[in-house]
Amino acid sequence: VNELIEAREEKALQRLIQRYARYDLLILDELGYIPFSREGAELLFQVLAERHEKGSVIITTNLGFADWTQVFGDPVMTAALLDRLTHRAHIVNCQWESYRLKQSLKSKEHRSEERK
Amino acid sequence: MKTPSFAELKENLKELKLSTMAREVESHERQARESGVGYDDFLLDLTIAELQMRTEKRLTRRIREAKFPLLKTLEGFDYDAASGLDLRLIRELSGCDYTREGRNVLFRGPQRHRQDPSWRPAWVSRPARTTSGPVSSAATAW
C-alpha cells in the first residue's frame, strides 16, 4: 500500500496497479493489522477491483467482517469489496490460540522448571 | 563425436538458450554411448534435464520475487497446533486450483478486541470526509 501511495506521487500508479493485476496470486498478510490512510485504502480497492475474477487473492486477517469498515472507511465501498472478495472464495477459519504465544509460554514454563 | 563439433554444438545450444543441455550434452553423450542408449532416448533425457532445471530456476526466482519475510512450507506446518483446521480444504488448496479459477482464499484468525486502539486507522475518528476522486473511479471500476 505504501508503494501504491508513492507511485501515485510519481504518476506511475496506473502501471503499478496493472502490475499487481497481472500476478496469478496476490497475498495480503495481516490485513487490518497496520491501518491504511484513507488514500491507501482507496488504492487497495482499485487493485482488488482490477483483479476481481481474474486473479486470486489470499488474505490473512484477524478482522471480523463487521470490522472491515473501520479499516477501509467507506461502508458502501467496504460492502462492495467484501461481496466480491468472498464471492466463490474459500474461507479458512483459524480460531486456535496463537502458536507463537503458546511457544513462548511453553519455553517460559520450561525455564522456571529448570530453576526449581 | 569429435571434440571440435562438441564445441560448436554447445555454442548452438547456448544460443538457443538451452544452457543445461549445453552443459550436460557431453557427459550424456558419453553415458549414452557406454550404455548403448539410442538417439531418441539420449535426446529425451537431455531435454528432460533442461526442463527440470528450468522448473527449479523458475520456482527459485518466483520465491525470491515474492519477497516472503520467512520461507515456510506446508510440510513444516504444525497441524497438531491448529485444532479445528479444515484439513480437507487445506489439501484441496495445496493443489492451487483456486489460482487457475481466479478464486480467493480468506484466512480468518481470532478477532482482536474492538477497543484495542493499536489497529484503528488514524482517520476513523474524523467526522467528515472530503469527497475524493479515487472513490468514484474505484466505484466505476467495480
Q: What is the pLDDT of residue A41?
A: 86
Q: Exposed/middle/buried for B46, CB within 10 Å: 0-12, 13-18, 19+?
A: buried
Q: Does A3 touch chain B (CB under 8 A)?
A: no
Q: Which of B108, B115, B137 to mutate to test the interface with A (most CBs of A within 10 A)?
A: B108
Q: What is the pLDDT of residue B112?
A: 64
Amino acid at B39: Y
Q: Which of A53, A36, A54, A44 is nearest to A17 (CA)?
A: A44
Q: Say how far apart CA A74 and CA A62 lie, in whole Å.
A: 19
**Contact present, B37 and B31 (Cβ < 8 Å):** yes
Highest mean pLDDT among A3-7, B23-27, B64-68: B23-27
Q: Does B109 touch chain A (CB under 8 A)?
A: yes
As a whole number, mean pLDDT of residues B43-67 equals 94
Facing residue for B82 by CB, picked from A58, A59, A94? A94
Q: Is the pTM of this model over 0.90?
A: no
Q: What is the pLDDT of residue A17?
A: 83
Q: Which of residues 45-84 of A touch B (CB under 8 A)?
A: 45-46, 49-50, 52-64, 67, 70-71, 73-74, 77, 80, 84
Q: Say how far apart CA B139 and CA B142 lie, in whole Å.
A: 6
Whether B121 sits inside 8 A of A93 (CB atoms) is no
Residues on chain B touching A74 (C-beta within 8 angstroms): 129, 135
